[in-house]
C-alpha cells in the first residue's frame, strides 16, 4: 500500500467515514512488521483493536444512567445558579433597605423641643423628677445597708485578728528572749 492511499484511508477512518472493508484493509496493513516509523502509533492502535475480538456491549440501563447523571448535573448547576441569584438579590435588597432606613432616620429625625411654654412649670416638673430620682437612690442605698454592715463587721474582725496576732508575736518574742537567756546561762556553766 502506498503512502497516499494509507493517508487517505486513515483520514477516512479518523473522520468516521470509512467502510468495513477499508477498516479491514487498515487492520491487515498494520499487522505487518515492517511499518514506516511515522505510523508506529497507528500500528499500536490497530493492534489493540485486533486483539479485542469483540467490543463488549454496555450493560442494560447504561444509557439511562448516563442521561440521569447528565440531568442531575444540570439540576445541580441550575440550583447553584438560582442560589447565586437569590443571594445577589438578597444582598441588593438588604443594601436598599439600609439606605432607605438611613434616609428616613436622618431626614425625619425629630429635633429636641421644649415641652413646656411656662418656665415655672418646667422648673417644677424638673424638680419633681429629681426628687423622684433621689428618693429611689436613697431606697437603693437602704437596701445595700446590710452589705455595708457586713463590710464593717469584716473590718472589725480583721482588726481584732491583727491585734491578737501582734500579742501572740510579742509573747513569742518574749519566749525567744527567755530561751536565749537560758541557753546562754547553760553555756556559761
pLDDT at site 54: 62
Rg (C-alpha) for the chain, rounded Å, is: 53
What is the pLDDT tens value at each position of the chain, 189 positions in all? 788 888 888 888 888 888 888 888 888 888 877 788 788 888 887 777 777 666 667 788 888 888 888 888 878 888 888 888 889 999 999 999 999 988 888 887 766 666 778 888 889 999 999 999 999 998 888 888 888 888 888 888 888 888 988 999 998 999 999 988 888 888 776
Element (H, E) at 93: helix 62-107
Cell of 61: 440501563
pLDDT at site 56: 65
pLDDT at site 132: 94
Structural domain boundaries in the chain: 3-51, 79-112
pLDDT at site 110: 66
pLDDT at site 91: 93
**Does the predicted model carry a pTM greater than 0.85?**
no
Task: List Cβ neighbours of 12 (8 Å cut-off, separation of 6 or more).
Answer: 18, 22
43/24 Cα distance (integer angstroms): 13
16/33 Cα distance (integer angstroms): 26
Amino acid at each position: 500500500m502506498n503512502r497516499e492511499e494509507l493517508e487517505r484511508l486513515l483520514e477516512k477512518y479518523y473522520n468516521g467515514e470509512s467502510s468495513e472493508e477499508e477498516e479491514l484493509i487498515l487492520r491487515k496493513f498494520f499487522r505487518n512488521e515492517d511499518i514506516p516509523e511515522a505510523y508506529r502509533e497507528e500500528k499500536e492502535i490497530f493492534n489493540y483493536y485486533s486483539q479485542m475480538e469483540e467490543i463488549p456491549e454496555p450493560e442494560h440501563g447504561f444509557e439511562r444512567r448516563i442521561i440521569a447523571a447528565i440531568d442531575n448535573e444540570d439540576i445541580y448547576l441550575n440550583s447553584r445558579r438560582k442560589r447565586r441569584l437569590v443571594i445577589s438579590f438578597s444582598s441588593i435588597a438588604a443594601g436598599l433597605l439600609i439606605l432607605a432606613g438611613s434616609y428616613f432616620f436622618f431626614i425625619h429625625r425629630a429635633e429636641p423641643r421644649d415641652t413646656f411654654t411656662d418656665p415655672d412649670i418646667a422648673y417644677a416638673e424638673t424638680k419633681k423628677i429629681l426628687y423622684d430620682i433621689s428618693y429611689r437612690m436613697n431606697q437603693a442605698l437602704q437596701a445595700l445597708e446590710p452589705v455595708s454592715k457586713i463590710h464593717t463587721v469584716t473590718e472589725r474582725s480583721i482588726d481584732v485578728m491583727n491585734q491578737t496576732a501582734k500579742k501572740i508575736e510579742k509573747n513569742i518574742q518574749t519566749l525567744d528572749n527567755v530561751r536565749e537567756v537560758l541557753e546562754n546561762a547553760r553555756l556559761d556553766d
